[in-house]
Amino acid sequence: MPPTVRLEVSRYRPEQEDKPAFQTYEVPFRDDWVVLDALNHVKDQMDGSLSFRWSCRMGVCGSCGMMVNGRPKLTCAAFLSEHLPGPIRVEPLNYFPIIRDLIVDITDFLEKLKKVRPWIVRDQVLPLEKGEYRQTPEQLDVYRQFSQCINCMLCYAACPVVGLEPEFVGPAAIALAQRYNLDSRDDGAKQRLKILSDHAGIWGCTFVGECTQVCPKHVDPAGAIQQYKLAGAVDMLKSFLMPWGTR
């Protein structure tokens, strides 16, 4: 008999249950299997009613984020072998409302993302015949790290402020705002600071730092937010000392 590992999967079927409960599945253990493979095995071979999101299986799409043994992880990158001897607990991402089983409602995150204007804002849009907005490798290097975000929302599930303060814009969205602030082609930093310079924005962050720890793309949202705070504080000081210098 091949060795197996026990999965404890959080189930919530709103037409059947009032609140989530764990269901146990004994799945084959394979060295090259990740938690997502095990979930797909359950779905295909054992219980077709299990619902979860996934797509690319290689850490690019950002849709298979779940809590694995209490830590937010991309299940396509969480090897079963790293969680032995089991049981392995799989739950939906923390703090988001659960729609069904392992699927959460991300509407709130998408609204927040839109709010920070994560696109290139120009004071003057150049006509097409002027060509593209060019950038040196050094200018790219300044924001490259923050541009690697795949919107997997693991950082939201790791952030206690997100859980405690529903209004908090959150790590990924602020990191993305900072990504555009640092872009040499962008002129939107002032607009974004106006949106983010309050308790729901950068000042809501208490620098727990777990967002950076769980980020599968090494974006370092905690760094982005602290650097944003520093820029915000300098800006505030400037407008206080030199009121004529700011608009």
Partner 1 sequence: MTSPAPYTPYHPRWYRRRMSVWWWLKDRAYVKFVLRELTSVFVAFFAFLYLWQLRAVTEGPDAYARFLARLQTPFFLTVDIVALAFVLFHTITWFNLTPTAMVVRVRGKRVPGWIVAGSNYLVWVVVSAIVAWIFTRGLP
Cis preceding linkage at 87, omega within 30: yes
Which of 82, 111, 114, 194 contacts partner 1 by CB under 8 A? Answer: 111
As measured in angstroms, the least distance from the Cβ of 212 to partner 1 is 8
- Residue with the two structure tokens 């974006």: 219
Which of 3, 48, 70, 127 contacts partner 1 by CB under 8 A? Answer: 70
87 and 80 Cβ atoms separated by less than 8 Å: no
Task: Please name every residue paired with 103 in a beta bridge, in sequence order, or none if there are none.
Answer: 100
CA distance 75 to 82: 12
Q: Is 129 in the site for partner 1 (CB under 8 A)?
A: no
Binding region for partner 1 (CB under 8 A) out of 40-48, 98-106, 193-201, 238-246: 98-106
Task: Please name every residue paired with 104 in a beta bridge, in sequence order, or none if there are none.
Answer: 98
212 contact partners, CB below 8 Å, separation of at least 6: 155, 219, 220, 221, 222, 223
Q: Is 107 in the site for partner 1 (CB under 8 A)?
A: yes
Backbone angles phi, psi at 72, to 5 degrees: -70, 125
Which of 52, 95, 146, 180 contacts partner 1 by CB under 8 A? Answer: 95
Q: What is the DSSP string of 28-61?
A: E--TT-BHHHHHHHIIIII-TT-------SSSSS
Which of 26, 44, 82, 105 contacts partner 1 by CB under 8 A? Answer: 105
**Per-residue binding letters, 201-240, with partner 1 (x by CB under 8 A):** -----xxxxx-xx------x-xx--xx-xx----------
Which of 123, 138, 240, 244 contacts partner 1 by CB under 8 A? Answer: 138
Q: Is 143 in the site for partner 1 (CB under 8 A)?
A: no
Q: Which residues bind partner 1 (CB under 8 A)?
A: 12, 14-15, 19-20, 70-71, 94-99, 105, 107-109, 111, 138, 141, 160, 162-164, 166, 206-210, 212-213, 220, 222-223, 226-227, 229-230
